[in-house]
Amino acid sequence: MSQMNIAQVDLNLLKTFEALHDESSASRAALRLGVTQSAISAGLRRLREVYGDQLFVRTGRGLAPTLRANQLKPLISEALDRCRQSLAMVNPDNQQYQGRSVVLGLSDDFEIAYGRRLMDEITRRAPRLRVIFRQTHSQIVAGALLERTLDLAITAGGFAHSRLSRQVLGEGDYRCLVDADQPSMSLDEFVTREHVLVSSGGFIGITDEGLAAQGLSRQVCASTSHFAALPFLLKGSQAVATIPGHAAEVIGAMTGLRVLACPLALPRYPIELGWRTQAQLDPLLLKVREAIVASFTWSPPSTC
């Protein structure tokens, strides 16, 4: 890339880059920015000249970022975020959030149990703001926040990084879901039944660890990475799923599955909200954080 003074660069190109990276499509980027597709194409040509790289290449599924584009994304997003923060400081009480969005990372157990409440609380504080729920978990959340693919995240930990801040929202436990009309389950019955495991990719869950500590084991008949699949996997079977209590209660209330106390003593875990420390004073993110805290002071209805 030739030497170039920032005075020679149209900074609107950075918005074009961000939209292309997020949308993977020139037409969707155009809709997002309210410009023509030809304007996006012209902007991409200019971006390629500025950075000396293709940046986005056409594939069968749209535009894919190159390695250089992925390296540039967190830097460009940070620059644009700083600009947005500076404008928000002019009028922190501004209620015009049309066209703005916040990306909230969480696993689908939290989305199922708290998603609707989060939407209501965020709308109350920031009308017309779009909240984007994006799947994450504690093992990958720090990287996603630092890479700016997430603005905020709710997980069971994972924020132990010098550039991240966190706040404890509550404490979680585990309960069992079954398709049976019974008030309780003994440990003996628990061990003899087949189990459905919800895991982001592993073969061993916390239930297996708890059983192993007592010299016991279980038979897992199926694994899934989505809590939302459980009603379809459990209905009409004798299988049991041991999952976070907040998700068990909501799934049980909506599907008729029975929620039982887990007969195996499992450790409770912290539910935490995390964000980049650098964004600590962003007025918009402060409002969203307030909404999240308010959502977690409300508990899903109990069906026990």
pLDDT value of position 239? 97
Q: What is the pLDDT of residues 144-184, one digit of tens each?
A: 999 888 999 999 999 999 999 999 999 999 999 999 889 99
> What separation in angstroms does the CA of 275 have from each of 134, 284, 303?
14, 13, 33
**Alpha carbons within 13 A on the beta-carbon side of 256:** 6
**178's tokens:** 């079954």
What integer is the mean pLDDT of 98-115? 91
**180's tokens:** 């049976």
Q: How many other β-carbons are positioned within 10 Å of the β-carbon of residue 120?
A: 13
Handedness of CA 136, 82, 44, 6 (dihedral sign): negative
Q: What rounded mean pLDDT belongs to the chain?
A: 89
Highest mean pLDDT among 29-33, 50-54, 181-185, 258-262: 258-262
DSSP string, 115-147: HHHHHHHHHHHSTTPEEEEEE--TTTHHHHHHT
**146's tokens:** 């630092």
Q: Which helix H or strand E contains 209, and what residues bound it? A: helix 206-212
pTM of the shown model: 0.76
pLDDT value of position 304? 44
DSSP string, 230-270: HHHHHTTS--EEEEEHHHHHHHHHHH-PEEEE-SS----EE
**Alpha carbons within 13 A on the beta-carbon side of 177:** 30
